[in-house]
Amino acid sequence: MANLNYFPCTTTLSSSHPTFPKPPASHRLQITSENKNVDMETNSSNNISQPKVDRRNMLLGLGSGGLYSAANLVITPRDSSATPVQAPVLDRCGKAKDLNNGKDIDINCCPPDTDQIVEYRVPPVSQMKIRPSAHRVSDEYIFKYNMAIDRMKRLPKDDPRNFFQQANIHCAYCNGAYKLQEGQLDGPDPTEVLQVHNSWLFFPFHRWYLYFYERILGKMINDPTFALPFWNWDNPKGMTIPPMFLEKKSALYNEKRSKNDSMPPAVVDLGLTGEKNPLQLVTNNLTIMYNDMIRGNSDVYGFMGKEYRQGDAPDPGPGSVERSSHTSIHWWVGDPEKNGEDMGNFYTAGRDPLFYCHHANVDRMWTLWQYFIPSNKVPDKRITNFDFLNASFLFYDENKQLVRVRVRDCLDNLGMGYDFERIDLPWLDYRPPSQTAGARIRRANTISKLAATIFPLKLDQIVRVVVKKAKKGKADEELVLEDVEVDTSKFLKFDVFVNDEDDNSFELDKASYLGTYAQLPRKSETNKTVKTSINLKLTDLYDDMDIADDDRILVTLVPRNQGGGVTIGNIKIIEAPPAKKPAA
pLDDT band (50, 70, 90) for residue 420: very high
What's residue 304's pLDDT? Answer: 97
Residue 358 bears catalytic tag: no
Any residues with CB less than 8 A from the CB of 33 and at least 6 apart, and which?
Answer: 77, 78, 79
- Identify whether 456 is preceded by a cis peptide bond (ω within 30 of 0): yes
- Of these residues, 163, 230, 303, 346, which one is catalytic? 346
- Of these residues, 163, 330, 388, 497, which one is catalytic? 330
Residue 346 bears catalytic tag: yes
**Cβ(286)–Cβ(431) below 8 Å:** no
Rounded to 5°, the CA angle 175-90-313 comes to 45
Q: pTM above 0.95? A: no
71-80, 135-144, 325-334, 513-522: least confident range: 71-80
pLDDT band (50, 70, 90) for residue 401: very high
* Side-by-side strand order, sheet with 457-458: 457-458, 566-575, 477-487, 529-537
- Of these residues, 359, 420, 455, 494, which one is catalytic? 359
349-358, 383-392, 529-538: least confident range: 529-538
Instruction: Decide if pLDDT at 567 tops 50.
Output: yes
Residue 135 bears catalytic tag: no
Could you tell me which of 193, 85, 198, 189 has the C-alpha nearest to residue 531? 198
Mean pLDDT of 130-143: 98
Residue 166 CA to its chain's centroid (Å): 19
54-91 confidence digits (pLDDT tens): 433 333 333 334 566 544 555 666 555 668 999 988 88
Mean pLDDT of 223-234: 98
Q: Which whole-number Å values give the CA distances from 118 to 83, 393, 396, 397, 402, in the listed order? A: 22, 12, 10, 10, 6
- Of these residues, 20, 135, 212, 326, which one is catalytic? 326
CATH class as words, domain 27-429: mainly alpha
**Cβ(145)–Cβ(229) below 8 Å:** yes
- Identify whether 342 is preceded by a cis peptide bond (ω within 30 of 0): yes
What's residue 41's pLDDT? Answer: 36
Could you tell me which of 494, 515, 533, 522 has the C-alpha nearest to residue 306? 533
273-288 confidence digits (pLDDT tens): 999 999 999 999 999 9
What's residue 104's pLDDT? Answer: 53
d(CA 141, CA 126): 21
DSSP reduced 3-state for 551: coil
Instruction: Decide if pLDDT at 312 tops 90.
Output: no
Angle between helix 163-174 and 139-154 (nearest 10): 80
Report DSSP letters for 26-60, one per residue: --EEEEE-SS-EEEEE--GGGSTTPPP-HHHHHHH
DSSP 425: -
DSSP reduced 3-state for 567: strand
d(CA 297, CA 300): 7
DSSP 465: E
d(CA 432, CA 448): 26
Residue 17 bears catalytic tag: no
Instruction: Decide if pLDDT at 551 tops 70.
Output: yes
What's residue 580's pLDDT? Answer: 54
What's residue 326's pLDDT? Answer: 97
pLDDT band (50, 70, 90) for residue 129: very high
Instruction: Decide if pLDDT at 43 tops 80.
Output: no
d(CA 350, CA 169): 8
**Cβ(222)–Cβ(379) below 8 Å:** no
Residue 359 bears catalytic tag: yes
Instruction: Decide if pLDDT at 180 tops 90.
Output: no
DSSP 22: P
Q: Is 376 exposed, middle or buried (0-12, 13-18, 19+ CB in 10 A)?
A: exposed
Could you tell me which of 156, 513, 580 has the C-alpha nearest to residue 378? 580
Q: Torsions phi, psi of 342, nearest 5? A: -85, -50
461-474 confidence digits (pLDDT tens): 899 899 999 887 76
Instruction: Decide if pLDDT at 436 tops 80.
Output: no
Cα torsion angle, 93, 99, 104, 109, sign? negative
Instruction: Decide if pLDDT at 47 tops 50.
Output: no
8-35 confidence digits (pLDDT tens): 333 333 333 333 333 333 332 332 333 3
What's residue 534's pLDDT? Answer: 93
What's residue 489's pLDDT? Answer: 83
What's residue 418's pLDDT? Answer: 98
Mean pLDDT of 152-156: 98
What's residue 77's pLDDT? Answer: 60
Percentage of residues in the chain having pLDDT higher than 90: 54
What's residue 19's pLDDT? Answer: 33
Any residues with CB less than 8 A from the CB of 241 and at least 6 apart, and which?
Answer: 231, 257, 262, 263, 264, 333, 354
Instruction: Decide if pLDDT at 183 tops 50.
Output: no
Helix and strand totals (H; E) in the chain: 12, 16
- Of these residues, 20, 135, 163, 170, which one is catalytic? 170
- Of these residues, 20, 163, 197, 420, which one is catalytic? 197
Q: Which whole-number Å values give the CA distances from 337 to 334, 340, 344, in the listed order? A: 9, 7, 11
Looking at the structure, give the CATH architecture of the domain made up of residues 438-575: Sandwich (2.60)
- Of these residues, 206, 230, 393, 491, which one is catalytic? 206
Tell which phi-psi region holds residue 181, choosing left (phi > 0), alpha (psi between -120 and 50) or beta. Answer: beta
Q: Where in the chain is the domain with CATH 1.10.1280.10?
A: 27-429
Q: Where in the chain is the domain with CATH 2.60.120?
A: 438-575
250-273 confidence digits (pLDDT tens): 999 999 998 878 999 999 999 999
Residue 130: what residue type?
I
For all residues of the chain together, what is the average pLDDT? Answer: 81
What's residue 16's pLDDT? Answer: 35
Dihedral angle at the C-alpha atoms of 329, 331, 334, 340, nearest 10 degrees?
160
pLDDT band (50, 70, 90) for residue 448: low
What's residue 182's pLDDT? Answer: 53
